[in-house]
Amino acid sequence: MTEPRWLNADERRAWLALVSINTLLPAALDTKLHAAGKLSLFDYTVLAMLSEAEDRFLPMSELAARSSASLSRLSHVVTKLQKRGWVERRPHPHDARVTTAHLTEEGMATIVGLAPGHVEDVRDLFLDALTEQDVLDLARIGEKVVGRLDTDHWILREN
């Protein structure tokens, strides 16, 4: 039980900034999205991932991975999105354990309508504060951190 290595000044700055961003940014985007369409950032992310997937469907576990969520959380949210008519659940044809989540036309229309405003918000709240170099640095550092938190994270997959 040796004395822990406390954070130095720069480490503390980096850590505090990250924790603050972590609470402020999702809160701000949640507010915007809730005003625009009564959904949360997580709801939006789920719809976005489906809209970018081939044929607009994904197995629940793949969708969970792409939205960095637990299967349980995703299951509850998909139930909610289903009630709004934006997503459908279907059994997988070849593996009866698997459920696939499909984006409906209505769901697609919703995200198409929301996306431009959301991108503007992301720029407004976040990217516009940064130079091109900052963006590059952040992408590099961010991916390192993601790799440490989850070695197989999908955003690190080749291509």
Binding of DNA by 31 (CB under 7 A):
yes
Query: What is the side-by-side order of every strand in the sheet holding 99-103?
Result: 57-59, 99-103, 87-91
Choice between 92 and 130, CB closer to a copy of itself: 130
Residue of 16, 87, 13, 10 whose CA lies nearest to 56: 87
Q: With CB under 7 A as the rule, give the number of residues binding DNA.
A: 31
Picked from a copy of itself, DNA, none, the partner binding residue 31 (CB below 5 to 8 A depending on kind) is: DNA
Contacts (Cβ under 8 Å, ≥6 apart) of 75: 60
**Does residue number 110 form part of the binding site for DNA (CB under 7 A)?**
no
Site for DNA contains 104 (CB under 7 A): no
Asked if 159 is part of the footprint of a copy of itself (rule: CB under 8 A), the reply reads no
CB of 76 to a copy of itself, least distance (A): 15
Q: Which residue shows structure tokens 């997503």? A: 87
**Binding interface with DNA (CB under 7 A):** 27, 30-31, 34, 40, 42, 59-62, 64, 69-80, 89, 92, 95-100
**Binding interface with a copy of itself (CB under 8 A):** 3-7, 10-11, 13-26, 28, 45, 67-69, 115-117, 119-120, 122-123, 125-130, 132, 134-150, 153, 155
